[in-house]
Structure 1
Amino acid sequence: MNSDVQIAGDPLAIPHLLPPVPAHPATVAGFAGLARAIAADRASWAPLVRYDATTRWYHRLRAVPQAPGATSAAPVGYEVWLLSWVPGQGSGRHDHGRSSGVLTVLEGELTEHAADGPRTLTAGAQRVFAPGYVHEVVNDSLKPAVSLHVYFPGLTDMPMHPSQAAAPGVVAAPPEVLAP
């Protein structure tokens, strides 16, 4: 007895029969999936990584504009960035302007400091954030780290925010007290 695979061959072995990978994810889950797919393709990003002790190193892997003729309801354009972090390097407190994002740790360990406290992110961890989300990312470990960042729409602004760290001996007021 013959099976469809015996008769027609394996459809997964014939690229033209596979559904196309969408150039423009349309959901947060789609962007998180894009980040996981890029993370899984280590051969595409690992040779690009550089470590710089004087400044954070970064490389734009991909910049995809909004689909031609797209309306406001259509998927937005996006950018994919690769960053390395030597021990002690951090981003400073910032947000991403009008961009949402997905942060994926590829190697090592990073600490994210946000309003809800610090969070340790190990390889494979993902964080999704909306416009205006304020955080700081730091490599508090003793080994280098690498992360992947997807911003949609593409990153055009990264406002810095004053540190909430208090001087030694000074107790900082909680954020809700400092808010107008």
Structure 2
Amino acid sequence: MSFPVSASLPVSARPGRPTEAELLDFARRTAADAPLVASLPLDPEGRTWIRLEGPGGCEAWLIGWPPGTGTGWHDHGGSHGAFATAAGRLTEQSLAAQLPTEGWTLLELADGVDRERQLEGGKGRAFGPHHVHQVFNASADAHAVSVHAYYPPLPMMRRYSRAGQVLRLEQVEWAEEWR
């Protein structure tokens, strides 16, 4: 029995589909586009965004982060992705463990799974399809701006709450809610 090539390769390695490295390269190049970054309207109260054309059919966004704002804990519904900071500094807290994506509402995390990164202008990171993290602007007085890209386009995002080592699934947001 034979299968089409795309059925035997992971999504990130299929011909014509952007890899995590390509998404990160796009995010970094776009974050370096000063006129584009300057075109984003910044709101002192809440995040702002512009939808971008990303490579290979990916979903991409330019996002403005007022001081003290963040995403809360979430995943990307099975998509892989990348983001890069264009201005200011963002903090990413993530879990260095692959979590099951379905069939649970409460998990107790093992010790040592927490990771934290500071991402200043031009710095970024790529991640796989089971990445759980939160991103925030810890500054008390400066906006941050970043570029995000996901493939396949986000079907949903799962939102979590966290108390110590306990992670609880709180909500599932479907793409129709933010597009």
Does TM, normalized by the shorter one, top 0.5? Answer: yes
String of CA shifts for 1:56-99, please: whole Å, max 9, x gaps. Answer: 111101256xxxxxxxxxxx620110001111001111011021
The CA deviation at 1:55 is: 2.4
SS at match of 1:163: strand
String of CA shifts for 1:89-111, please: whole Å, max 9, x gaps. Answer: 01111011021111100000011
The CA deviation at 1:138 is: 0.8
* Closer, same or farther: CA 123–161 of 1 in aligned 2, 3 Å: same
Q: Which amino acid aligns with 2:133?
A: H
Decide which of 22, 33, 48 is 1:41's aligned counterpart: 33
Tell me what 2:21 maps to: 29
Measured on the aligned residues, the alpha-carbon RMSD in Å equals 2.2
Which structure: larger Rg?
1
Tell me what 1:131 maps to: 129
| 1:84 pairs with 2:60 | no
Q: Greater share of strand residues, 1 or 2?
A: 2
Tell me what 1:154 maps to: 153
Tell me what 2:92 maps to: 112
The CA deviation at 1:174 is: 7.2
SS at match of 2:91: strand
* Structure 2 Cα separation of the partners of residues 46 and 156 of structure 1: 26
The CA deviation at 1:25 is: 5.5
SS at match of 2:135: strand
* Closer, same or farther: CA 26–83 of 1 in aligned 2, 3 Å: closer
* Structure 2 Cα separation of the partners of residues 110 and 40 of structure 1: 16
SS at match of 2:43: coil
Tell me what 2:52 maps to: 61
Q: Which amino acid aligns with 1:39?
A: A
* Structure 1 Cα separation of the partners of residues 94 and 85 of structure 2: 17
Normalised by the size of structure 1, how large is the TM-score? 0.66
Task: In structure 1, list runs of 5 or more residues that go unmatched.
Answer: 1-23, 65-75, 165-171
* Closer, same or farther: CA 163–52 of 1 in aligned 2, 3 Å: farther
* Percent of aligned positions that are identical: 37
* Structure 2 Cα separation of the partners of residues 89 and 157 of structure 1: 21
Tell me what 2:10 maps to: none
The CA deviation at 1:141 is: 1.3
* Structure 2 Cα separation of the partners of residues 27 and 63 of structure 1: 12
Q: Which amino acid aligns with 1:136?
A: Q
Q: Which amino acid aligns with 1:54?
A: E
SS at match of 1:160: strand
* Structure 2 Cα separation of the partners of residues 95 and 112 of structure 1: 13
> How many residues are aligned here?
134
